[in-house]
Amino acid sequence: MKSIEETLKRYEAFLNEIEDGVGETDLEGNLTFVTDAGCRIWGYTRQELLGSNFKSYVDESGVRLLKKMYNQVYKTGKPVRFIHDVIRKDRTIKIVEDAVSPIFQADGTIVGFRSVQRDVTDRENAQKEIHAHRRRLEAIFSSVSDAIIMVDPDMRIIEANTSTEGICGFSIKDTGGKIFARTSALCGRGCYRVLTQTLDHKKNISGYTVECACTWRDHQLVSINSWPILDQNGELMGAVMGIRDITMLNDLQKELQERHNFHNIIGRSNKMQTVYTLLENLKDLDTTVLVTGETGTGKELVARAIHYEGQRALNPFIAVNCSALSENLLESELFGHVQGAFTGAIKDKMGRFEAAAGGTILLDEIGDISALVQLKLLRVLQEKIIERVGEHVARSVDARIIVCTNKNLKEKVAAGEFREDLYYRLKVVQVELPPLRSRLEDVPLLVDHFIAVFNKKSNQKIKGVSQDVLSLFMSYGWPGNIRELEHVIEHAFILCRRNLIMLDHLPRDIVEAADQNRHGAPHFFPGKKTVSSDEILEVLKKTDGNKAKAARLLGVNRRTLYRKLENLN
């Protein structure tokens, strides 16, 4: 007998150490046993609880719930689990999770109920707050005018708001769980590429602008932002994308103000407006583009603008200066090589065309490439394949080709220096950049731009240029074009210790050229393509034989002047 009592005491002590409350009731719901944890949950002493009925610590709705659940246990003989409120002695409310099971006699008759109660007040309150917060977020989510789409790592749509229907043109009712790319075939999928980049690289993408090419609305322009969703360990859970319709804003901006730049290309002259329009038309096409213009006019900027404003913007932009490499090196650089193809080829190397996969390759100074490279480039344009040096395996390439030159390719074709078939392959669309001397109205805008750039670089606060400097700039021929203007401003920043750039801050040769012009020297011949021998001799006299200065005064390239001098003997 003593052993049984000791066992019961150990059993009770064990139950009292459990954080969950344990109690037993008879069939009428009167409490016959309770642990310390149960007393703590209800807020009564054991003496107060024993013999009490469950009706004393629940409200009317609680009484109905407990009767229903206890009757279910009695009828089925199976345990049930449910959540209800408990009214404590101090009249505060606790939320408990109740697990009720039957107590059987030896003959299988149910004589009472055993209940294990867990205090889940904090958990339930937190869940209520989460649910309330979610409802608030859903209300905000639904009211936002931007389209918002959330996907998992496999690009399956988790959620989308109602604005998505108006902007993206598909119903959100049936999108849950579907692969994003399969929701609509009505647009150009620019947003799909943004989501892919975010998921692949776990990076934010902001302000990506794309024309949707949708069938239900002409020229819909949207701004796309996307963010990866990461867990506390940095693991990818998906991505969220916001799409804002900026069609009307873009149209209004075009109507209300003249455009002064296009992707860092500065200019408001009519000639530059024509260039901007052409670049907008080219940005989402994959056609080959030939960019021509004098040295320093910004040909590479144009190539970058076409790439970064278009549908390939998220993929590589690879630039190759063709004039800086010998034939063998250029061939290897463009097409790659295999190990042992030539001396020094110690391992396989991928070429620039392969590196530009999905993006754009810029071939600068295309007029200087050899006949062999011209032939290979022609094959790339015609068949979209390359062969690495030392290998006879054709590899397909997917890169948009943009070429730049300051040479007259038509003249080189006539002279037999450039393949005619390649020339016409390259000249599908030509963007001809005007020299700065033919758009002098852009000079003040360019000056302001470069001053802002160098103020930021050098942490200075120069406000502008004096009227004398601006007058000089507006009369100068700028043979080095925009690059020369940039270098002049940079030179002035080194010397200027005021808030205004003056004449004495400019390079001496430019100021001297202006002085000679004011004293009857020949003009700078803006836009003039040829100069006579008399003009050359006159300028050389004025410059005391200084050929570099004479070239600037004449508005011609120094090499052009040397060639003319040789012709004049």
Domains 261-432 and 464-568 in one fold: no
Does this model's pTM top 0.85? Answer: no
Domain boundaries, the chain: 2-124, 144-250, 261-432, 464-568
One digit per residue, pLDDT tens: the chain, 569 residues? Answer: 456 566 556 656 656 667 888 889 999 989 998 888 888 888 889 898 899 988 888 888 889 999 999 999 999 999 999 999 989 989 999 999 999 999 999 888 999 999 999 998 888 888 888 888 878 777 776 777 888 888 899 888 888 888 888 788 777 776 777 777 766 555 666 788 888 888 888 888 888 877 776 655 667 788 889 999 998 888 899 999 888 887 766 655 554 445 677 778 898 888 999 999 899 889 888 899 999 999 999 999 999 999 988 888 889 999 999 988 888 889 999 999 998 888 888 889 999 999 999 999 999 999 999 999 999 999 999 999 999 999 989 999 999 999 999 999 999 999 999 999 999 999 999 999 999 999 999 999 999 999 999 999 999 999 999 988 998 998 888 999 999 999 999 999 999 988 899 988 999 888 877 666 555 444 444 434 456 777 778 777 767 777 777 776 666 666 677 777 777 76
Burial class (CB in 10 A: 0-12, 13-18, 19+), 407: middle
Q: At what angle do helices 467-475 and 508-518 cross, to 10 degrees?
A: 80
Burial class (CB in 10 A: 0-12, 13-18, 19+), 136: exposed
- The residue whose two tokens read 């570099």 is 548
Domain 144-250 belongs in CATH node 3.40.50.720: no
- Bridge-based pairing state of the strands 429-432 and 289-292: parallel
Domain 261-432 adopts which CATH fold?
Answer: Rossmann fold (3.40.50)
| The architecture CATH gives domain 464-568 | Orthogonal Bundle (1.10)
- Domain 2-124 class in CATH: alpha beta
The backbone torsions φ and ψ at residue 424, rounded to the nearest 5 degrees and listed phi first, read: -75, -25
- Bridge-based pairing state of the strands 147-151 and 157-160: antiparallel
Ramachandran bin of 545, using left for φ above 0, alpha for ψ from -120 to 50, beta for the remaining angles: left
Structure tokens at 472: 């000089």
